[in-house]
C-alpha cells in the first residue's frame, strides 16, 4: 500500500479530475433518459425557454402574481434554474440529453466545491476527496441529478457552499472585496431555491463546532467576538432576500399570525403542518436520516404514501419537542471530542429545517430535499474515517468500499428515471396503492396506444377511489378511444359531477356529442364550460372543429381565431386556423407559419389526422412531405 504522504499528494493534485470522472461514470446512463414528471411542464411546454431574449422576463415576475395570470412558460421564483434551462435549450435544441448533461456537470461542480470545503475542515486531501465522492455517489442524489427539475437543489447547494468558501477566503485575506462575492453567491443560491436561507446558520454552526479549546458557551462567545462582521453581513443578506423574495406574500401571513389575537396564533400552532397532517418534526427527521444511512426503497413520488404501511405513524408535537432537546444535548456533548461529526449532524438538521413542516408546506417528502443535507452526512462519515485513519488503514478501505457500493446502487437507480413508465412501475411495485402513479401509468399506456392495458390500470384505480374525478375522466377517455361511446359519455358526466370545473371532461364530452351528431347537447356542454370559466380558449377549438366537419370553414375560422385571441400560444388553435385558411385558399404564408408553430407545440400529436376535418389537409402530398422532412410548408 502506498504511504499516506503519497496518497495525500495524489488526492491533492488529481482530486478535481477524479471527482469529474467519477461523476461522469456514475451518471452517464442518465443522458438517454427522457423528460419526466415536472420536466414536461417546466421545459417541454415552457415556450419562453426557446429564445434567450426572454431571459429578462424570468427576473420580472411580481412576487404576488397568480400562476393563472402568468404567460405560458413564465414561472415564479428559482430564476437561476430557468436561466440554465434556457442556455441548455439553446445549446441542445431542447433535447433531453443536454439538460441531463448539464445536471451531471453541476453535480460534479458541487462535488469540487465540497472537496475544497472538506479539505479546509478535515485538513486532509484524501479524506476530503472520499467525502466529496461519497456525496457524489450517494443513491439519494439520483432524485436531484437524474431528474432535470431537481436542478434547483444542485444549484442552491453549489452556490451556498461556494459562498461559505468566499467567507473563509475573506478571513484569510481581510479583503473587503470578498463581501460582494458573498452577496452574489448567496443570491444565486437563494434564487435557485429558497432553502438557501439557512446559509448564515450553517456558517455559525461551522465556526462554533470548529472553535478549538472552548466549551460550548465560550465557543459561541468567541465566534461572535471574532466573526461578528461576517455574521452581520450574512444575516443582513438573508433579511434582504426574504424581503425581496417573500415580502409580498409573507407579510399578510405574519400579520395574520402575530398581529391579531391569541386564538389566531393558537389555531396556527394547531394547524396540520405543525401537528399530524403530514409528519411530525421528529418523524420527518428520522425518516430522512434513515434514507441517508440506508438508501433503500427510494421513491420518485412520496405524495400520498403516508397513509400506507411504508412509514410509522406521526410521533406528535410533544415527542418532537423532546426529540429536539435530546438532539441538541447530544450535539453539545460530543462537540469537543468530535467537532466534525457534530458539524455534519448539525448540518443535516439545519439544512432540513425549510422542509420540516414547521411552517405550512405544500409537499410531504421528496428525496431531492436531501441534496444539501447530504453534505453533512458525507462530512460525518469522512470525519469518522479521519479519526480512525490515524491508527488503522482498514477504515480507508471501508470508506472506499462504501463509495463503490453507493456508486453501483446509484447507477442502478438511474435506470428507474429513464421515462415515466419505468418511474411509475417502480413506485407501484413499492407502494401498490399510489393513486398518482397509477394514473400516470394509465396516461403512459394511453399515449403508447395500449388502451386495453391502460383500461386495466384505470379500473384498478377507480376501484381504489371511485369518487375521484380524474379516475372517472380517464375511463371516459379510454372508452372513447375503444369506441364504447355510451360508457365514455357516462364516465365523462360522472367526472363533471364530481368535479364541476374539470374543463377537460367538458371538452371531451362536448366534442364526442358533436361528433355523434347531437349538436344541441354538445353545444350545451360547451356553454356550461364557458359559463364556469368565462370563456375557455379550447372550447372554441371544439366548436370550430364541429363547424369544420360541416364544411362551414368561414364559421370554423371565426371560432378558431376567437380562441386564439384568448390564448395566443395554443397550438391546437393555431392548427385550426392554418387548416381553415388553407381550406379557404387564403394566406399561404400565414398557413406556413401557423402550421410550423402548431407542429412545434406538438398539436399534431393530439388530433387524428386521418379523420375529418383534418384528413383533407393532411392527405395532401405537400403536407406529408412537410411532416416527414420537418420543413415548413411554402
DSSP one-letter string for 215-233: -HHHHHHHHHHHHHHHHHH
Q: Which pairs from 519-528 meet CB under 8 Å and 24+ separation? A: 519/546, 522/546
**Which pLDDT value is given to residue 276?**
38
**With bands split at pLDDT 50, 70 and 90, how would you rate the model's confidence at 414?**
very high
**With bands split at pLDDT 50, 70 and 90, how would you rate the model's confidence at 99?**
very high
Q: Is 493 exposed, middle or buried (0-12, 13-18, 19+ CB in 10 A)?
A: middle
**Which pLDDT value is given to residue 311?**
39
Average pLDDT, the chain: 82
> How do residues 383-395 score in pLDDT, each as one tens digit?
877 665 554 566 6
Residue 207 phi, psi dihedral angles, 5° rounding: -65, -40
How many angstroms separate the CA atoms of 592 and 579, rounded? 10
Comparing CA positions, the residue from 3, 36, 579 lying closest to residue 301 is 36
Residue 619 vs residue 381, higher pLDDT? 381
Query: Strand locations in 161-209, DSSP E?
Result: none
3-state SS assignment for residue 303: coil
**With bands split at pLDDT 50, 70 and 90, how would you rate the model's confidence at 253?**
very low
pLDDT > 70? residue 624: no
Do the beta carbons of residue 440 and residue 424 sit within 8 Å? Answer: yes
**Which pLDDT value is given to residue 279?**
53
How many angstroms separate the CA atoms of 260 and 237, rounded? 29
Residue 119 phi, psi dihedral angles, 5° rounding: -65, -35
Residue 264 in grid coordinates: 389566531
> How do residues 12-43 score in pLDDT, each as one tens digit?
888 899 999 999 999 999 999 999 888 887 78
Residue 313 in grid coordinates: 405513524
Query: What percent of the chain clears pLDDT 70, i.e. is strictly above it?
Result: 83
**Which pLDDT value is given to residue 572?**
87
Do the beta carbons of residue 614 and residue 625 sit within 8 Å? Answer: no
Do the beta carbons of residue 237 and residue 281 sit within 8 Å? Answer: no
Query: How confident is the model over 452-458, as a mean pLDDT?
Result: 93
H or E stretch at 104: helix 96-122
Query: How confident is the model over 615-630, as a mean pLDDT?
Result: 60
Q: How many residues does the chain have?
A: 634
**With bands split at pLDDT 50, 70 and 90, how would you rate the model's confidence at 220?**
confident
**Which pLDDT value is given to residue 389?**
53
CA distances from 325 to 207, 318, 502 (A): 21, 11, 48
**Lowest-pLDDT choice from 253-262, 285-294, 574-583:** 253-262
CA distances from 436 to 427, 465, 471, 493, 516 (A): 10, 11, 10, 22, 32
How many angstroms separate the CA atoms of 467 and 479, rounded? 18
- Give one DSSP letter per residue of 140-172, joined into a string: GGHHHHTSGGGHHHHHHHHHHHHHHHHHHHHHH
pLDDT > 60? residue 100: yes
pLDDT > 60? residue 269: no
CA distances from 83 to 70, 93, 186 (A): 18, 15, 17
**Which pLDDT value is given to residue 362?**
65
Whose cell is 396564533? That residue is 265
Residue 485 vs residue 266, higher pLDDT? 485
**Which pLDDT value is given to residue 597?**
83
Query: How confident is the model over 276-294, as a mean pLDDT?
Result: 75
> How do residues 234-251 score in pLDDT, each as one tens digit?
888 888 888 776 654 444
Residue 322 in grid coordinates: 423532546
Comparing CA positions, the residue from 603, 463, 579, 534 lying closest to residue 68 is 534
> How do residues 46-69 score in pLDDT, each as one tens digit?
777 777 887 777 776 655 554 444
**Lowest-pLDDT choice from 130-139, 140-149, 568-577:** 568-577
pLDDT > 70? residue 442: yes
Query: What percent of the chain clears pLDDT 90, i.e. is strictly above it?
Result: 33
Residue 322 vs residue 483, higher pLDDT? 483
Do the beta carbons of residue 279 and residue 314 sit within 8 Å? Answer: yes
Residue 360 in grid coordinates: 405550512
CA dihedral 243, 248, 250, 255 (to 10 degrees): 110
> How do residues 478-525 score in pLDDT, each as one tens digit?
999 999 999 999 999 999 999 988 888 998 999 899 888 888 999 899
Q: Is 13 exposed, middle or buried (0-12, 13-18, 19+ CB in 10 A)?
A: exposed
Evaluate if pTM is beyond 0.75: yes
pLDDT > 90? residue 263: no
Amino acid at each position: 500500500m502506498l504511504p499516506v504522504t503519497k496518497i495525500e499528494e495524489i488526492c491533492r493534485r488529481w482530486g478535481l479530475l477524479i471527482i469529474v470522472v467519477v461523476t461522469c461514470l456514475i451518471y452517464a446512463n442518465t443522458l438517454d433518459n427522457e423528460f419526466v414528471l415536472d420536466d414536461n411542464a417546466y421545459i417541454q411546454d415552457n415556450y419562453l425557454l426557446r429564445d434567450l431574449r426572454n431571459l429578462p422576463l424570468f427576473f420580472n415576475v411580481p412576487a404576488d402574481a397568480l400562476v393563472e395570470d402568468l404567460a405560458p412558460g413564465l414561472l415564479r421564483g428559482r430564476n437561476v434554474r430557468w436561466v440554465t434551462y434556457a442556455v441548455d435549450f439553446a445549446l441542445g435544441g431542447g433535447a433531453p440529453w443536454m439538460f441531463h448533461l448539464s445536471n451531471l456537470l453541476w453535480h460534479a461542480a458541487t462535488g469540487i466545491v465540497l472537496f475544497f470545503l472538506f479539505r479546509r475542515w478535515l485538513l486532509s486531501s484524501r479524506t476530503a476527496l472520499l467525502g466529496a465522492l461519497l456525496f457524489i455517489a450517494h443513491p439519494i442524489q439520483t432524485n436531484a441529478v437524474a431528474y432535470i427539475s431537481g436542478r434547483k437543489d444542485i444549484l442552491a447547494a453549489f452556490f451556498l457552499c461556494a459562498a461559505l468558501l468566499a467567507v473563509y477566503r475573506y478571513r484569510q485575506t481581510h479583503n473587503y472585496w470578498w463581501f460582494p462575492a458573498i452577496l452574489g453567491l448567496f443570491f444565486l443560491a437563494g434564487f435557485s431555491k429558497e432553502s438557501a436561507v439557512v446559509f448564515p446558520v450553517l456558517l455559525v454552526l461551522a465556526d462554533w463546532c470548529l472553535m478549538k479549546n472552548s466549551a460550548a458557551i465560550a465557543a459561541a462567545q468567541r465566534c461572535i467576538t471574532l466573526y461578528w462582521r461576517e455574521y452581520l453581513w450574512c444575516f443582513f443578506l438573508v433579511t434582504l432576500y426574504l424581503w425581496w423574495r417573500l415580502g409580498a406574500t409573507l407579510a399578510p401571513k405574519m400579520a395574520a399570525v402575530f398581529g391579531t389575537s391569541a386564538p389566531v396564533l393558537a389555531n396556527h400552532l394547531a394547524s396540520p403542518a405543525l401537528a399530524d397532517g403530514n409528519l411530525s418534526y421528529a418523524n420527518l427527521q428520522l425518516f430522512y436520516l434513515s434514507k441517508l444511512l440506508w438508501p433503500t426503497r427510494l421513491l420518485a413520488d412520496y405524495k400520498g404514501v403516508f397513509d400506507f404501511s411504508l412509514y410509522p405513524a406521526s410521533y406528535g408535537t410533544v415527542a418532537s419537542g423532546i426529540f429536539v432537546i435530546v438532539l441538541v444535548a447530544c450535539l453539545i456533548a460530543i462537540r469537543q471530542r468530535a467537532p466534525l461529526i457534530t458539524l455534519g449532524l448539525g448540518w443535516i438538521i439545519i439544512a432540513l429545517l425549510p422542509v420540516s413542516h414547521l411552517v405550512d408546506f405544500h409537499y410531504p417528502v421528496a428525496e431531492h430535499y436531501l441534496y444539501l443535507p447530504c453534505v453533512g452526512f458525507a462530512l460525518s462519515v469522512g470525519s469518522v474515517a479521519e479519526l480512525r485513519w490515524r491508527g488503522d488503514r482498514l477504515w480507508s478501505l471501508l470508506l472506499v468500499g462504501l463509495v463503490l457500493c453507493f456508486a453501483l446502487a446509484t447507477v442502478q437507480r438511474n435506470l428507474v428515471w429513464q421515462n415515466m413508465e419505468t418511474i411509475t412501475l417502480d413506485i407501484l411495485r413499492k407502494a401498490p396503492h399510489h393513486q398518482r402513479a397509477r394514473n400516470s401509468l394509465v396516461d403512459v399506456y394511453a399515449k403508447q396506444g395500449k388502451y386495453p392495458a391502460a383500461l386495466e390500470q384505470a379500473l384498478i384505480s377507480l376501484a381504489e377511489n371511485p369518487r375521484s374525478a380524474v379516475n372517472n375522466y380517464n375511463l371516459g377517455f379510454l372508452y372513447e378511444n375503444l369506441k364504447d361511446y355510451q360508457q365514455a359519455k357516462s364516465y365523462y358526466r360522472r367526472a363533471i359531477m364530481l368535479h364541476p370545473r374539470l374543463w377537460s371532461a367538458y371538452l371531451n364530452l362536448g366534442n364526442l356529442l358533436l361528433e355523434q351528431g347531437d349538436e344541441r347537447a354538445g353545444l350545451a356542454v360547451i356553454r356550461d364550460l364557458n359559463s364556469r370559466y368565462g370563456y375557455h380558449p379550447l372550447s372554441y377549438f371544439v366548436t370550430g372543429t364541429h363547424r369544420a366537419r360541416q364544411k362551414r370553414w368561414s364559421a370554423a375560422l371565426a371560432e378558431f381565431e376567437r380562441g386564439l385571441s384568448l390564448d395566443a400560444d395554443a397550438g391546437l388553435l393555431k392548427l385550426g386556423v392554418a387548416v381553415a385558411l388553407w381550406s379557404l385558399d387564403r394566406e399561404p404564408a400565414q398557413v406556413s407559419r401557423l402550421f410550423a408553430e402548431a407542429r412545434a407545440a406538438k398539436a399534431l400529436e393530439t388530433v387524428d389526422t386521418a379523420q375529418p376535418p383534418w384528413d383533407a389537409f393532411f392527405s395532401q402530398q405537400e403536407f406529408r412531405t412537410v411532416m416527414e422532412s420537418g420543413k415548413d410548408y411554402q
